[in-house]
């Protein structure tokens, strides 16, 4: 890891997907992690898809997805100018300007719309996100500005993230979310009756409880709610489990429509 000083903000340059992609990211908050790659790996795509990454941050999730699927178009949005600057730089660094577009936009605003060329008011085939998961009124916030904007919300933000995403989603399109288990009930309430839901529980090790989850929602589907077998992230040694390691290194992806949901690429 090399360190780079840029004005008042320090960054590092790090490799992901077994060195396939290179990301410059802030040292103080907003850093990419296991969740970033697992979320990207679970987004369903097909040739020609229009995909929206909400809260793109430094761009790792979009770049991880776009590096494997250059026949899709990804729009990554964020409301923070530093994140937009980093994400734009990282897209160029990874030579993915042809299929990833970074735009400054706030998902909390009503009546958002997106256009590409002569395509106006886009509806997306896939939308994915890792919304802030701590209520700032119920937990002490980090002193880091970028930790705060990535992890803390004001109690109603999650509703806006979901409801505004639904307006931007095609019929039969999907929303993929990774988040803390404490927010699962609220997310299900927001999506209930609007489509089908599949939940993949994530646990740190065999003796741990479910702390996070990946949820896939398909708009307009009448399929029954499914809860898949939990994914164990770590072996007893502390190393990642084999399937998770393969995913983090870019050798596997996740298809939540199947019972055996990890598959090699």
Q: How far apart are CA 237 and CA 155, in angstroms?
A: 38
User: Residue 201 has what pLDDT?
Assistant: 97
Q: Please compute the mean of the pLDDT values over residues 214-230 and round it to a whole number.
A: 97
Q: For 111-162, how does the pLDDT look when each residue is reduced to its tens digit (9 = 90+)?
A: 999 999 899 999 999 999 999 875 555 555 555 555 544 445 455 799 999 9
User: Residue 7 has what pLDDT?
Assistant: 44
User: Residue 9 has what pLDDT?
Assistant: 79
Where along the chain do its domains lie? 2-231
User: Residue 117 has what pLDDT?
Assistant: 87
Q: How far apart are CA 76 and CA 65, in angstroms?
A: 11
User: Taken in order 142, 148, 152, 153, is the CA torsion positive or negative?
Assistant: positive
Name which of 104, 208, 127 is nearest 173 in CA terms: 127
- Tell me: pLDDT of 241 over 70: yes
Q: For 161-186, how does the pLDDT look when each residue is reduced to its tens digit (9 = 90+)?
A: 999 999 999 999 999 999 999 999 99
Share of the chain above pLDDT 70, in %: 88
- Tell me: pLDDT of 189 over 70: yes
- Tell me: pLDDT of 110 over 70: yes
User: Residue 28 has what pLDDT?
Assistant: 87
pTM exceeds 0.85 for this model:
yes
User: Residue 259 has what pLDDT?
Assistant: 84
Region 2-231: CATH code: 3.40.50.150
User: Residue 3 has what pLDDT?
Assistant: 47
Supply the DSSP string of the chain, one letter for each residue: -EEEEETTEEEEEEEETTTTEEEEEESSS----HHHHHHHHT----TT-EEEEES-TTSHHHHHHHHH-TTSEEEEEES-HHHHHHHHHHHHHTT-TTTEEEEE--TTSTT----BTTB-S--EEEEEE----EETTTSPPPS-HHHHHHHEE-SSHHHHHHHHHHHHEEEEEEEEEEEEGGGHHHHHHHHTTSEEEEEEEEESSTTSPEEEEEEEEEET--PPPEEPPPEE-B-TTSSBPHHHHHHHTTSEEE-TTSSS-EEE-
Q: How confident is the model at residue 197 (pLDDT cuts 50, 70, 90)?
A: very high
Q: In what order do the strands lie in the sheet with 9-16?
A: 2-6, 9-16, 21-26
């Amino acid at each position: 890891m090399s360190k780079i000083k840029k004005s008042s903000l320090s960054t590092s340059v790090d490799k992901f997907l077994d060195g396939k992609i290179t990301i410059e990211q802030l040292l103080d908050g907003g850093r990419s992690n296991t969740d970033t790659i697992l979320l990207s790996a679970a987004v369903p795509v097909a040739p020609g898809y229009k995909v929206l990454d909400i809260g793109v941050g430094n761009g790792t999730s979009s770049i991880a997805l776009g590096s494997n699927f250059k026949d899709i178009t990804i729009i990554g949005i964020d409301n923070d100018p530093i994140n937009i600057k980093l994400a734009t730089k990282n897209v160029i660094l990874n030579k993915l300007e042809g299929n990833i577009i970074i735009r400054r936009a706030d998902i909390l605003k009503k009546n958002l719309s997106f256009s590409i060329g002569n395509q106006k008011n886009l509806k997306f085939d896939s939308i994915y996100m890792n919304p802030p998961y701590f209520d700032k009124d119920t937990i002490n916030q980090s002193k880091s500005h970028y930790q705060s904007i990535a992890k803390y919300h004001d109690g109603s933000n999650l509703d806006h993230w979901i409801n505004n995403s639904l307006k931007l989603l095609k019929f039969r399109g999907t929303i993929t979310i990774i988040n803390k288990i404490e927010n699962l009930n609220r997310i299900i309430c927001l999506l209930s009756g609007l489509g089908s839901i599949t939940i993949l529980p994530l646990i740190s090790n065999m003796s741990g409880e479910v702390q996070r989850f990946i949820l896939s929602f398909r708009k307009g589907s009448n399929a029954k709610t499914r809860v898949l077998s939990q994914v164990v992230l770590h072996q007893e040694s502390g190393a990642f489990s084999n399937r998770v390691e393969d995913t983090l290194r870019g050798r596997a992806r996740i298809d939540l429509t199947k019972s055996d949901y990890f598959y090699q690429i």
